[in-house]
Amino acid sequence: MPSRRFKQVDVFTGKPFFGNPVAVVIDATGLNTAEMQRIAAWTNLSETTFVLPASSRNADYGLRIFSPKQELPFAGHPTLGSAHAVIESGFALPHDGKLRQECLAGVIDLSVEDTATGKRIFLEAPDAKISAVDDHNVRLMQIALGLTRPFMHPPARIDVGVVWLVAELADSKAVAALEPEMNGLSKLSVATNAAGITIFGKSDDEFSRLHVRSFAPALGVAEDPVCGSGNASVGAYLLHTGLVKSHGSDFIVRQGMQVGRDGQVSVRIDQHGVRIGGYAITCVDGTLRTE
């Protein structure tokens, strides 16, 4: 029976089962879109990816990314986890610490840093397209999130290949206390053509700068444990609003504590845009039968 190399990689952690898992099918040549979607629904993770040969000389490999319900043009933790799997499997190797991934959002530049605790991989997020959230949808956000106080600043719709509605709360305690009404968030996501809602607040620990939570029930993911594109959107929001002056341009985000994880995302912001990165570790390494 035909089989393909398969890895399940925990992303934004160096410790198994504390990050965000992504399923990676290595060398998915020959699988069609319907088959990929079926496999993604079967793994039932927030994303499953399929590594392919690049279609142009500008990239080292191609990647298709699927949630349990649909294909995505880009997603952060699947990109980083797939890069880890690509390197580990030898499907593609970095050149001078660089990798280029081809996906529906375009070619994504990645950098690989060798540290004392392993390889840390960063991606350059696609240029953000930012627009305001109208007053009606802001009120719906507040209602669905169960908020009794207004947001710290006006929310924004951030498109980094995946679209998030992004807003800041007073602090990490307010973020941690959220108990959103998922049906309301799902309706809001559909109405604004967004994947979901990402909320952040200033951390109260000495390790991280921000605490982030990302909700995407419209994609079948009630709460994303550690969300790469959500954190890239937060970085773009800080850059766009000028809040980077108060929060900083190089910091660690913690995410996932409310769902039993402790993901750590490195965020770097400069005039060129946003880079996010972190460590990853393979938890499952084997083969997947596809017929």
200 - beta bridge partners?
168, 212
Give the CA distances from residue 84 to residues 159, 198, 230, 274, in Å, rounded to whole numbers and listed in that order: 25, 25, 20, 20
Q: What is the pLDDT of residue 134?
A: 97
| Percent of residues, the chain, with pLDDT higher than 70 | 100
- Is residue 205 pLDDT above 70, yes or no? yes
Q: What is the pLDDT of residues 95-152, one digit of tens each?
A: 999 999 999 989 999 999 999 999 999 999 989 999 999 999 999 999 999 999 999 9
Q: What residue has token string 């965020």?
A: 267
- Amino acid (one-letter) located at 209: R
129-273 architecture in CATH? Answer: Roll (3.10)
Q: What is the pLDDT of residues 86-110, one digit of tens each?
A: 999 999 999 999 999 999 989 999 9
Domain 3-125+278-289 belongs to what topology?
Diaminopimelate Epimerase; Chain A, domain 1 (3.10.310)
Q: What is the pLDDT of residue 271?
A: 85
Q: What is the pLDDT of residue 105?
A: 87
Tokens of 93: 């190797």
Q: What is the pLDDT of residue 259?
A: 95
- Amino acid (one-letter) located at 54: A
- Is residue 1 pLDDT above 60, yes or no? no
- Is residue 199 pLDDT above 90, yes or no? yes
Q: What residue has token string 């629904």?
A: 41
- Kindly report each contact of residues 246-254 with a partner whose C-beta sits within 8 Å and lies 24 or more positions away, as own/partner: 247/202, 247/209, 247/210, 248/209, 251/208, 251/209, 251/210, 252/207, 252/208, 252/209, 253/200, 253/208, 253/209, 253/210, 253/211, 253/212, 254/203, 254/205, 254/207, 254/208, 254/210, 254/211, 254/212
Q: What is the pLDDT of residue 182?
A: 97
Q: What is the pLDDT of residue 28?
A: 96
Q: What is the pLDDT of residue 22?
A: 97
Q: Which sequence spans correspond to the domains of the chain?
A: 3-125+278-289, 129-273
Helix or strand holding residue 283 (H, E): strand 280-289
Q: What is the pLDDT of residues 11-47, one digit of tens each?
A: 999 999 999 999 999 999 999 999 999 999 999 998 9
Give me the chain's average pLDDT, please.
95
Average pLDDT over residues 209-231: 93
Cα torsion 145, 176, 75, 27: sign: negative
What gap in Å lies between CA 210 and CA 250, rounded to an integer?
A: 11
Q: What is the pLDDT of residue 69?
A: 86
User: Is-contact 80 232, C-beta < 8 A?
Assistant: no
Residues acting as catalytic residues: 47
User: What secondary structure, in 3-state letters, does 201-263 show?
Assistant: EECCCCCCCEEEEEEEHHHCEEEECCCHHHHHHHHHHHHHHCCHHHHCCEEEEEECHHHCCCE
User: Is-contact 170 152, C-beta < 8 A?
Assistant: yes
Q: What is the pLDDT of residue 2?
A: 77
What gap in Å lies between CA 284 and CA 16, rounded to an integer?
A: 10
- Domains 3-125+278-289 and 129-273 equal at CATH topology level: yes
User: Is-contact 9 49, C-beta < 8 A?
Assistant: no
